[in-house]
Amino acid sequence: MEIIDGKALAKNVRENLKQEVENLKKEGIIPKFAVILVGSDKASQIYVKNKNKASEELGIEYEEVLLGEETKMSELLEKIDELNNRNDIHGILLQSPIPKHLDINKAFKRILPSKDIDGFNPENVGKLCLNQDTFVSCTPYGIMKMFEAYNIPLEGKHAVIIGRSNIVGKPMALSLLNKNATVTICHSKTKNLKEITSNADILVSAIGKKHFVTADMVKQGAVVIDVGINRTEDGIFGDVDFENVKEKASYITPVPGGVGPMTVAMLMNNVVKSAKMKKLEM
């Protein structure tokens, strides 16, 4: 059994990106992204802080756009348009959740596909579906990089994903399908979940329930990827009962230190990718 070290992998990605940022700067391009935060969600503030810290380390610039709880949809769209039109901004990130009276899908759709570093614009999701080069949602993208770094074969493997969210489950399924895995997506209405997961060569859990995936749900030798982040008074836990499942897995990601650090690194990767695309236009 090998523990996939997301922290070390992310450090590697960041080191390479740092060099790319320096090269871009020599050519007069400073990679820069904007983060839009609407309202005062506490967890979002922490995520934004982490993203900003990561970008500072790499020499990537960022701009925080703080909008109040009462922001109207028209004001949010206006802000997005303004950022879309700015030449110095290569990426736009709208931190979710946003207040309930706002339509997040409409907002994601408004972000220019070429600046959609989160990969949430329907055009980019469509491109992923068509197996074309695009911005891919950072969590599944980071997981694909993990498979690559550890030489984990995907072709012909049965990959089971628990969770069908637009930001993790669905893009994860498409990414694996694009690499010729046979993919099963499970969700809260799935019957015989254990029977399905027990057949998985690759099992990705993105549910948000502490220790939901137990050893009896896992096939001997399976690759187990734990996306879940469950904050409790005793600390942060994944969806997977790590201590018991690791006895059966061939590879497993820990929480923390697994998928999380790679997600942030992939966001930085997408900012640099967008800045490089800009360079090609020049």
**Which residues contact ligand NDP (rule: CB under 6 A)?**
139, 162-165, 167-169, 186-190, 193, 206-209, 227-230, 259-260, 263
Separation of alpha carbons 64 and 58, rounded Å: 17
Q: What's the rounded Cα separation, in Å, for the pair 245 and 261?
A: 21
Q: How far is the CB of 15 from ligand NDP (least distance, A)?
A: 20
Cβ at position 34, least distance to ligand NDP in Å: 20
Annotated catalytic residue, options 5, 118, 226, 239: 118
CB of 186 to ligand NDP, least distance (A): 5
Angle at 45 between CA 42 and CA 49, to 5 degrees: 145
Cα 223 to Cα 234: distance, rounded to the nearest angstrom: 27
The answer to whether residue 45 is catalytic is no
What's the helix, strand, coil split of the chain in %, to 5?
45, 15, 40
Is 51 tagged catalytic?
A: yes
**Please, which residues bridge with residue 3 across strands?**
252
Radius of gyration in angstroms for the set of CA atoms belonging to the chain, rounded to a whole number: 19
Is residue 62 within 8 Å of 74, Cβ to Cβ?
no
Catalytic residue (choose from 5, 32, 95, 210): 95
Answer yes or no: are the C-beta atoms of 137 and 183 closer than 8 Å: no
Of these residues, 32, 51, 115, 210, which one is catalytic? 51
Q: How far is the CB of 27 from ligand NDP (least distance, A)?
A: 31
Considering beta carbons, is residue 183 or 186 the nearer one to ligand NDP? 186
For ligand NDP, the closer of residues 205 and 274 by Cβ is 205
- Residue pair 38/93 in contact (Cβ under 8 Å)? The answer is no
Is 95 marked active-site? yes
Pick between residue 91 and residue 254 the one whose CB is nearest to ligand NDP.
254
Please give the positions annotated as active site.
51, 95, 118
